[in-house]
A = this chain, B = another copy of it.
Amino acid sequence: MRIGIDMGGMSIKFGLVNKKNQIVDKIVIPTRLDIPAEKMIDYMTESVLELLEKHGLNIRDCAGIGIGSPGTVDDRRGEILYSNNFGWENVAIVTQMQERLPVPIKIANDADAAALGEVFAGVCKGVKSAVMLTLGTGVGGGVILDGKIFHGPLNGGVELGHMVIKAGGEQCTCGRKGCLEAYASATALLRMAKQAAGENPSSIMNRMCENRLENMDGVIPFEAAAIGDATAKKVIEEYEDNLATGIVNVVNIFRPEVVILGGGVAAQKENLTIPLEEKVKRFCFGGGHGEIARIVTSELGNDAGIIGAAALTIV
């Protein structure tokens, strides 16, 4: 048995994972941003022990613990260098947990852990190389090469969401303008849909969100486009063009076997991947002379982070 921990800004999830990479049981605790990191890590340590006890296990029955953390992680030293969500800086989480949990403990960025999860036990089981883009509040990027997370030689993280695709464009949270995140996140889709609906009162998107743009969600533009709303179609077309630009860049840079889309927007499945594959094939460098990645959507959804984290000590 192994433990996978998925740290989020709202909650921290702990999964007991078996040899088949299945989650046997899960517990969730709220993320406390009002207490010091050390105290929060104590709570995390207790949760690990609690989850094991619940199944009649103790720490010696645990083959390893993996942590997926948002932000910039030093996987070699087991530290969270900086997490905007947690407000943490240079936190030696692995060392601290290891005091009471004397088993192998590894840490990775959460987007990397999710990508590893999909390759280990999800949509890309058995695939050696894949790039995962998580289309949520931001755009997370995880790169798997030779079955392992590609961290990059220096610390800082492989941040595919912060690849500029339109210099001088939309402001990104990272300080730059025109990042993929500012064009292909669920947040970006909402921004585009709200603006288009606001400018086109006859768009059915307005009725679908009860004429309150604050009710707009990431599904409405897809549903409105599906029933022929011209404004929604334009929004989706533009969103997919932006995402395709990012994916073509990723393919031109990494030449992975598969590009996995995760996060809320990926719930659109073929609705999203079919037009994307067509756009990506058209624009990849070398065209028919190279090999072009398949585009698929996540299979494990929110569990990818836990399963991937639990796999960290065995890859």
Contacts and interface: CB of A to CB of B under 8 A. Distances in A.
A77 interface: no
Given A158-B255, A159-B252, A289 B129 contact: no
Given A166-B168, A245-B164, A289 B156 contact: yes
Contacts of A287: 175
Per DSSP, chain A at the interface is loop
Contact of A129 (B153, B165, B256): B153
Given A81-B290, A164-B165, A166-B166, A156 B255 contact: yes
B242 A155 contact: no
A187 B228 CA distance: 44
B145 A257 contact: no
A69 to B, nearest CB: 13
Given A164-B248, A283-B175, A289 B152 contact: no
A176 interface: yes
Interface in A153-174: 153-160, 162-169, 174
A284 B169 CA distance: 17
B157 A82 contact: no
Given A163-B249, A285-B174, A290 B155 contact: yes
Given A157-B285, A159-B285, A174-B285, A255 B165 contact: no
Give the number of times this chain occurs in the complex, counting copies: 2
Contact of A166 (B72, B167, B254, B291): B167
A55 to B, nearest CB: 37
A194 interface: no
A242 B167 contact: yes
Nearest to A284: B156
Nearest to A251: B156
Contacts of A175: 283, 287
Interface in A288-304: 289-293
Contacts of A251: 156
A286 interface: yes
A255 B81 CA distance: 15
A289 to B, nearest CB: 4
Contacts of A151: 255
Contact of A156 (B241, B242, B285): B285
Interface in A209-238: none
Given A154-B256, A157-B285, 16 more contacts: A72-B289, A81-B289, A153-B255, A154-B290, A155-B255, A155-B290, A156-B251, A157-B290, A158-B254, A159-B253, A163-B252, A164-B249, A165-B165, A165-B166, A166-B178, A176-B248
